[in-house]
Structures are given as C-alpha cells and as structure tokens.
Amino acid sequence: MAQMMGSLTAALYGLLVVYLGGWFLGFWTGNFSLLLFMLTVATMLYWLAERFHFRPEREAAAVALQQRDAERRRQLAAAGIEKVDGDVDEAVAKLRAQPWWLDWTAGLFPVIAIVFLLRSFLFEPFKIPSGSMVPTLLVGDLILVNKFHYGVRLPVINKKILDNNPVQRGDVMVFRYPVDPRLDYIKRVVGLPGDEVAYLNQKLTINGEPVPTVALGEHYDDDSLSYSPMFSEKLGDVEHRIRVDPRRSAWYGPDPKRFPLAENCRYSPEGMVCKVPPGHYFLMGDNRDNSQDSRFWGFVPDENIVGKAFFVWMNFGNLGRIGAFH
C-alpha cells in the first residue's frame, strides 16, 4: 500500500511539473484558481487519510513492537537474564515517521488551505501587465484586490452566493475577460446597467451629461517615452487621473462588432455610444487612447466580476508606488 501511494504521489507531482512547465513556456494558458482548488482537495484527501488511517496504523505498529519487546524482556527477566541486547527505540521511531509522500502532501495541506481561503474569499494579488491604466496604475505594480467587496463568490465557478456593496462608477475592477474568461483584466467602471455611455472626440459623457474634467498639464509615460495631456476626472464620488492622447483616432476595430449585445452600441468616426444592458457594466482604461476595453470587446457581465482593486503593495522598480489608490 505504502509503495503504491508513493508511486501515485510521484506521478501526481510529475503531472504538476509538466502543467506548470507548459504554462511557463507558453504551451497553454493555466488556471491558477482551478489549480489551487485541486491542490487543496488533493492535499486534504491525503491529510484525512493520514489523520484517520496511516497515522493510527503506524502508531498501532509502533505500540505492538514496544509491547512485544516488553514481553520478551519480561520473559528473559523471569529466566534470570537481566541484561538484554537490542533497543527497539530506533525501530519505533522509524515506524512512527511520516513517509515522504505524506510529508509532501498532508503536511502541506494547512498552508495550501489557508492560501486558498484567503485568495478565494478575502484578497487576491495581481500584477499590472500593461499601461492601459496609466497614470493610476503602472506596469509592474503589484496590487491587492478585495474579493468580498461586491459579494461572496464560490471559487473556480465564480458564482455569487452573498451580496455586499453594489458596483459604483469609478471603481477599479478586476474581472474575467469576456473574450477569454481564463484571463483577468483590470479597468475602471464607467457605465452601470441602464446607462448610456458616449466617448466622442475624446470626451466622455454618461446619460447625456459630460463627465467633469480638469486639465493637469502633460504626463510623461515611461513605456511609450512620450508626453500626453493628463486630466483629473470625476466619476460619481471618485476623482482620479486620466491620460488622453490627441494623436490617436477613434477606431475601435472592424465593423460589424461581434461581441455579445453589440447591437446596443453605435460607432462613428467621432467615437462610440453604448447603452449598457441589465446585468452588465461598461469599463474603460484610464489611459483612454491606449486601452483595449469595453469599446472594443463589449460589456462585462456581473458573473465575470472578480473584485475591487484598492492597494499597490509593491513595485520593485519604484517603492514610492506603494499605497492605496482610487
């Protein structure tokens, strides 16, 4: 039994190495949430087996050996032999020792379970991979996302089971990319269900009302090595900075649009106008003219929400980036 479990564990670790290696080398897109869930379940099964089967079995074998040794010594003492060679302490210790395949599975379960619970229901770390949220978030920012701000969702399937705060305009949201839900994106919420969002001639209006902006001068982007006008914008109660590139034209890909509910949007040389359908949200990057967002691939359904981003916990190239943002 022990030999079979050792071989099975080695095979499982081999599969894990292949999966992670293929993910790292780009042969396939990994799903960390699913992987963490499977590791939690697998190590829990090993932990339960250790707790209720293997450890009692090893303990019973160790106790039986001690009892046999005590009986042997008693019999020898009755025969007048007081000095007895042989010490079973080392053998007992070996019987009680946890084999490697339990040490590397059941022994890891508490740590993996804590990480799984924290990441699934409380806070999840993300890394900013692109400049679509400049100047609010920079490439390389390591951020935290509040997973329970909008409600409690079951891990992996992302189904909401408890409501919390409603989504607000101006929230910086992490969500599953509608085109490929295996990927996580981050943008700012601009339109709520029922809103009419227009971005015409690089001006944002919601329900016919221009969104207030204040010019802040020029912003230098380290990635593009260029200057562009920067503005302070107020969406609802949230005031934040945006970057606008007057050199960019309002082109949002070929027509007709093929994303779900594309009939809710109208496109023109000046920009676009979209009516946000029920249960969906319209999101844009703060780097307004250098962001692939709802203007290109459509609305974000409620079931794709991951959480609200709120804190930069590290940027190895710029420690001054650490802190809250909105």
Which of 118, 133, 80 has its CA nearest to residue 287?
A: 133
Marked catalytic residue, from 120, 132, 291, 294: 132
Helix (H) or strand (E) holding 103: helix 100-103
What is the 3-class SS of 56-67, one letter each residue? HHHHHHHHHHHH
Helix (H) or strand (E) holding 21: helix 2-25
Q: How many other C-beta atoms lie within 10 A of the C-beta of residue 111?
A: 10
Alpha-carbon gap, residue 249 to 66, rounded angstroms = 84
Which of 96, 266, 126, 112 has its CA nearest to residue 186?
A: 126
Alpha-carbon gap, residue 309 to 128, rounded angstroms = 11
Length, in residues, of the chain: 326
Question: Is 187 in the active site?
Answer: yes
Alpha-carbon gap, residue 198 to 204, rounded angstroms = 6
Question: Is 132 in the active site?
Answer: yes
Helix (H, G, I), strand (E, B) or coil at 208: coil
Alpha-carbon gap, residue 208 to 205, rounded angstroms = 6
Marked catalytic residue, from 33, 120, 187, 291: 187
Distance of CA 266 to the CA centre of its chain: 34
Amino acid at 246: P
Helix (H) or strand (E) holding 300: strand 300-301
Q: Could you give the residue numbers annotated as active site?
A: 132, 187
